Chains A and B, each alone.
Chain A
Amino acid sequence: MTPRTGLRRRLVGANTLWIAVVLLVLIAVFGALRPDAVLTAFTLQTTLVETSVLLVLSVGMTYVIITAGIDLSVGSVLVFSGVTSAMTMNALHDGNATTAGWGVVLVGLLVALASGAAWGLVNGLLIARTGIPPLIVTLGSFGAALGAGQLISNGSNVAGVPDVLSDTLGTGTWFGVPNLVLLAAAVTAVGALVLGTTAFGRHTYAIGSNEEAARRAGIPVTRHLVRVYLLAGVLAGLAGFMALAYFRVASITGHDTDNLNAIAAVVLGGTSLFGGAGSVVGTVLGVFIPAVLRKGFVIVGVNVYWQPIAVALVLVAAVWLDQSRRRARDKR
């Protein structure tokens, strides 16, 4: 038995392959309907840019869900981090950071990451130490982080984002590829490698598969869970900074369903809500299915309100497939 055949069988057995097929079929169908509008560099570029922020959130969410957890707070943490970052940058530059330089931008980035890390740490400590279900803990921080962001910003969006940031990370490109997309791709690649090849990744799977077995095997489960939620928080902070750069404003609204979109993307990508199985590669595919549906519906002229319905159908089918696969396996 060579590793190659093992790999091929694992691919066929995995949900990831089927999700990839679904995505390719979608692109092919839309492409066949409107080849002139769908398969263009512009469509590709805008689709990628619009999914970059969600992709970064979803990479963190993948780790969380593989531990059989959930993080409802990512969208609110994104808002909170954007607000603290923008307000810090403004404060450092006489109340308006539009003309500020790279030093201020760097401080803003660190504040965004630290804000995300703080919420991730709170989530992780509560979940790993107290045994309160992740759903409840992060439902709490979902409300609290948004409330805290609104308190700090007085309930309004924070403008004054440095131009040097918006013009580079926000809308700049590198050989035609948007910088925002490059950053998201780099985060995704690192996330995929760490999950797939390192002890950290292996322990993430083990905890989600059987927490008690992991504990008895000497894996520091509590510490590891804290780190996983910390990672999700830091990535939400980074996503907040990216959104800030792109939209030139730290927005209070518009992120109410980011958490659900990230969860949907992760689950669509074949990661099991029961934990123990999943991949970042699958999550990438899962992020693009709703995005391609939305873009495709707009281009071919289908009422765009069909998009959430179509996503819902695919999502429910994906979870159903996962469940029946597990049931068939565990019956033996």
Chain B
Amino acid sequence: MALPLLDARELVKHYGNVEALRGASFTAHAGEVVALVGDNGAGKSTLVKCLSGVARPDSGTILLDGTPVVLDSPVAARALGIETVYQDLAVAPDLDPAANLFLGRELRRGGLLGKLGVLDKREMRRRAVASFHDLGVSLPDVDVPIGALSGGQRQSVAVARSVVWASRLVFMDEPTAALGVVQRERVLDVIRRVRDQGMAVVLISHNMPEVLAVADRVEVLRLGRRVARFDAATTTVEELVGAMTGALSQEDA
């Protein structure tokens, strides 16, 4: 197989006396959806934090396209084309969808006004509306604070924000958790579309049927280590659960 896009090896992360990651490894290839599953406390969220620059591992290496990288902040990760949809969404509820989409990357006006920091709100709104349209995100109103939208709509904006800016890899931590059936399908569609553009999507989910429906591969974490890797097409929910609970393990994972 080709060189992995992201190759994390033997990551260790302590929080005080708690060992959240005990030599966890993880691999993602360009153009695939890889699901990261595991029971509560298996270290999924910690692993994603380490790989998206929110937390720094105590030891281990992270290779991007075969080159070791240091992800010491979300900004550093984003500069490398890595975006994250956080489980708690991390949107600003008082700002409108366009402002959230461009949060921290606001477009300035041209010329002197731009040098003074004046925003090009019209252009940001136009691009945001176009992006939402492209991604099939339907919002009743793009001029209200995002807090006035439903949970699903808020989530759609959070997903759209990461997808719009990512160039290589998107982490999605439980992106469908708050969604109804229709919106869940929309998000899964977006995930497939992003993969088809050649990016890697890492999906963290508790929903095993959903994982098998959308993922190409599945990696299983247990007690801070990778314990199994599966090809989604030939795997059953029972096998995944077995690996998550420790009933089944692959020595070479």
Contacts and interface: CB of A to CB of B under 8 A. Distances in A.
Interface string A190-224: 00001001111010011011101111111100000
A216 B92 contact: no
B49 to A, nearest CB: 11
Contact of B94 (A198, A215, A277): A277
Most buried by B among A10, A198, A213: A213
Interface stretch (B3-11, B58-66, B113-121, B211-219): B113-121
A36 interface: no
Interface string A1-19: 1010010011001000000
By secondary structure, the A interface counts as helix
A330 B150 CA distance: 9
Interface in A1-42: 1, 3, 6, 9-10, 13
A206 to B, nearest CB: 5
B155 to A, nearest CB: 13
Contacts of B147: 326, 329-330
B145 A329 contact: yes
B104 interface: yes
By secondary structure, the B interface counts as loop
Nearest to B73: A218
Contacts, number: 91
B72 interface: no
Interface residues of B, number: 37
B75 A205 contact: no
Nearest to B108: A199
A108 interface: no
Interface string A307-332: 00000000000000000001001101
B69 interface: no
B143 A10 contact: yes
Contact of B92 (A3, A10, A205): A205
B148 A219 contact: no
Interface string B91-120: 111110001000111101000000011110
B149 interface: yes
Contacts of B144: 13
A210 B150 contact: no
A216 B151 contact: no
A219 B104 contact: yes
A276 interface: yes
Contact of A214 (B75, B104, B105): B104
A197 B73 CA distance: 28
B90 interface: yes
B81 interface: no
Nearest to B124: A202
Most buried by A among B92, B119, B143, B148: B92
Given A209-B94, A218-B74, A202 B106 contact: yes
